[in-house]
Amino acid sequence: NAGVMQNPRHLVRRRGQEARLRCSPMKGHSHVYWYRQLPEEGLKFMVYLQKENIIDESGMPKERFSAEFPKEGPSILRIQQVVRGDSAAYFCASSPSGGGNNQPQHFGDGTRLSIL
Amino acid sequence: GENVEQHPSTLSVQEGDSAVIKCTYSDSASNYFPWYKQELGKGPQLIIDIRSNVGEKKDQRIAVTLNKTAKHFSLHITETQPEDSAVYFCAPAFTGGGNKLTFGTGTQLKVEL
């Protein structure tokens, strides 16, 4: 009964490189959320996706950041041309359905991204 | 957008004592009120949640109370144990808006022997 799986757990990139973070939701869950956590802070919402659809990307920077949740495979959060300020822990959560049905979100253990 | 505050930011109690953490939110449309526990190096773990049509919910040593009029809800932990030591976050949401959680700033709870 696997929970939300994120990989890699730790990722180190140099400035200007690309970072790809993966999230496999819990079995039976079709809704995925990405959050970012800076040190000593709470999580901040980035994007909410269903299979093949972005529902809400209001928390995601307009440039360099993109997210997808294809029909097959994990959800991907992609950060292009990374900068030092992108260093953070990125968490993925999943739920069986969306907000209208009041389904709780269950989180993975995150990817810690460090930019050199 | 939603403005969420938690108090206190740190809380130290003796084992066996009770702990109470308060969360104040600004968006009157919020109708879902979860509490998460985060241990070092881990993701947030849902420990209890409450909907807006209920004033209180209890699960063993953990309870949540909601005051919608005053726009705050509280986490109550009784008979605290060392393994309760962690950072606790409230994260109110408006489920009609996609269930986007707005996390508070967190409360570091330390249970001392």
pLDDT digits (tens, 9 = 90+) for B51-71: 888 899 999 999 999 999 999
Residue B46 in 3-state DSSP? strand
Helices (H) and strands (E) in chain A, counts: 0, 11
pLDDT at B102 over 70: yes
User: pLDDT by residue (tens digit) across A9-58?
Assistant: 999 999 999 999 999 999 989 899 999 999 888 899 999 999 999 999 99
Residue A7: is its pLDDT beyond 70? Answer: yes
Q: Single out the residue of A108, A39, A48, A44 nearest to residue B4, CA to CA.
A: A44
Length of chain A in terms of residues written: 116
Residue A10 zone, left/alpha/beta (φ > 0; ψ -120 to 50; rest): beta
User: Distance (Å, rounded) from C-alpha A74 to C-alpha A70?
Assistant: 7
Residue B110: Cβ-neighbour burial (10 angstroms; 0-12, 13-18, 19+): middle
Nearest CB to B43; choose among A41, A58, A110: A110
Q: Does B97 touch chain A (CB under 8 A)?
A: yes
B26 touches chain A (CB under 8 A): no
pLDDT for residue B98 is more than 80 = no
The answer, for A4 touching chain B at a CB cutoff of 8 Å, is yes
Asked whether the beta carbons of residue A104 and residue B46 sit closer than 8 angstroms, the reply is: yes
Q: Cβ contact (<8 Å) for A107 and B44?
A: yes
Check CB contact of A109 with chain B, cutoff 8 Å: yes
> Closest partner residue to A105 among B42, B101, B104, by Cβ?
B101
Is residue A108 within 8 angstroms of chain B, CB to CB?
yes
Q: Please choose, from the candidates B69, B90, B75, B63, the residue with its C-alpha nearest in 3D space to the C-alpha of residue B4.
A: B90
Q: How many CB atoms lie within 10 A of CB B24?
A: 18
pLDDT at A99 over 70: no
Q: How far is A65 from chain B (nearest CA, A)?
A: 19
Res B83: pLDDT: 96
Lowest mean pLDDT among A41-45, A72-76, A93-97, B12-16: A93-97
- pLDDT above 90 for A96: no
> What residue has token string 């209920």?
B54
Q: Are B41 and A107 in contact (CB under 8 A)?
A: no
User: Quick one: average pLDDT of B96-108?
Assistant: 86
Distance between CA atoms of A105 and A15, rounded to whole angstroms? 32
Report CB contact under 8 Å: B42, A109: yes
Chain B partners of A58 at a C-beta cutoff of 8 Å?
100
Confidence of residue B99 (pLDDT cuts 50, 70, 90): confident
B46-84 residues labelled b (16+ CB within 10 A) or e (exposed): ebbbbebeeeeeeeeebbbbbeeeeebbbbbbeebeeeb
Q: What is the pLDDT of residue A44?
A: 96
